[in-house]
Amino acid sequence: MKLASPSDLNVALRKGLAPVYLVFGDEPLQSAEAGDAIRQAARLAGFIEWELYFVQTGFTWGGLRESADTLSLFGDKRLLDVRFPEKPDREGAEWVAEYLERPSPDCLLLLTAGKLAAEDHKKAWFRAVEQRGVVLQVRPLEGNALLQWLDRRMTAKGLLADQSGLRLLAARVEGNLLAAAQEIEKLAVLCGEGRIEDGQIATAVADAARYDVFDLVDAVLADRFARAQRILEGLKSEGVAPAIVLWALARDARQLATAAFHVAKGESPAAVLMRQKIWESRRNALTEALRRVEVRGWQDALLICARADRIIKGQQQGNCEYYCASHSFNTVS
């Protein structure tokens, strides 16, 4: 069974425990809290023993295989907590698929992994987990999903904020849910339960937002000027090199210039983007950008990228700091 979001996990746990759980994704707070919820439910269900395995360099699967096949000395049920830095290697994938053919009734298997690619979802071990147990993917939150998460988190602490306050908080913690949770704890201590005004949030909450260059590209493509400017400032404060920013923007500009040329010739955006092997998760954003900007606009964007490249390499005078991004806004808007 695949859960749609972390908020569905508690509902699933109340219905009873599955023999295996897989929590994966690149959002550490949600991953950690999902693991805590599963471990707590396991303890309440009588899984007293807890065996923790970190799959890293030098790890051997023999110990885990033997433990899973061996009865507990005192007959206690056991939670096998296996944590991967990214995804199971070949031997690990084979063990998971093999174990789930006949899972032990005295063991509950909890697998925690990093971000998995789309092709990993088609592997035998992943399908075995999905068929036998529960799969939960945790993703970074943004937009309305982040606002709803912040609202639920604040409500749980007895705090109430207006939508404007939630948006202010979101702008300062976006991309960093660990910081968001800490800031809400701080607000609860400083302000106590009840309504919190926007000014209190502005005064108390530090700017802990984290972005990467792909967030910037998405903001530019979506024509969200204010967000893009905010991300630029964040990247600059973190010391991200202008060449990396240029690489991300130029990559999409090249893809879109090519796609726009074929669309102008009568091909459908969906067919063109599929031929370019664009990830499915990005196709909607690129399709909307193709609808809004014609071929000439993307060609102009490429010229801007070329000039920014010359500035970065010292072949042309100018301020290289994010020249490409700051000029691209006008081009693709």
| CATH number where 150 lies | 1.10.8.60
- Which of 92, 116, 138 is the endpoint of a domain? 138
CB-CB contact of 100 with 19 (8 Å): yes
Give the Cα separation of 140 and 241 in Å (integer): 23
The confidence score (pLDDT) of residue 7 equals 87
pTM of the model: 0.68
The confidence score (pLDDT) of residue 71 equals 63
The first and second tokens of residue 143, run together, are 């937009």
Give the Cα separation of 183 and 150 in Å (integer): 11
- Which of 204, 226, 253 is the endpoint of a domain? 204
- Which of 101, 116, 138 is the endpoint of a domain? 138
Q: What is the CATH number of the domain that holds 275?
A: 1.20.272.10
The confidence score (pLDDT) of residue 328 equals 52
Let me know whether 133 and 151 are in one domain: no
The confidence score (pLDDT) of residue 5 equals 87
Let me know whether 223 and 187 are in one domain: no
Let me know whether 83 and 170 are in one domain: no
CB-CB contact of 134 with 6 (8 Å): no
Let me know whether 132 and 179 are in one domain: no
Let me know whether 64 and 182 are in one domain: no
Let me know whether 134 and 151 are in one domain: no
The first and second tokens of residue 171, run together, are 């702008």
The confidence score (pLDDT) of residue 153 equals 92
Domain that holds residue 27: 2-138
Does residue 100 sit in helix, strand or coil? coil
Let me know whether 124 and 231 are in one domain: no
Let me know whether 8 and 133 are in one domain: yes
Let me know whether 288 and 235 are in one domain: yes
Let me know whether 22 and 119 are in one domain: yes
**How does strand 194-196 pair with strand 159-161?**
parallel
What's the structural domain count of the chain? 3
Let me know whether 9 and 106 are in one domain: yes
Tens digit of each residue's pLDDT, the chain (333 residues): 899 888 899 899 999 999 999 999 989 999 999 999 999 999 999 998 899 999 888 788 888 888 887 765 556 789 999 998 888 888 888 999 998 998 888 899 999 998 898 889 999 999 999 999 999 999 988 889 999 999 999 999 999 999 999 998 988 888 889 888 989 998 888 888 899 898 888 888 877 677 788 888 888 888 888 788 888 888 887 788 888 888 888 888 999 999 999 999 899 988 988 888 887 778 888 888 898 888 888 888 888 888 888 888 878 776 655 555 555 545 555
How large is the greatest C-alpha to C-alpha distance in the chain, in angstroms? 75
| Element counts in the chain: helices (H) and strands (E) | 16, 8
Let me know whether 267 and 189 are in one domain: no
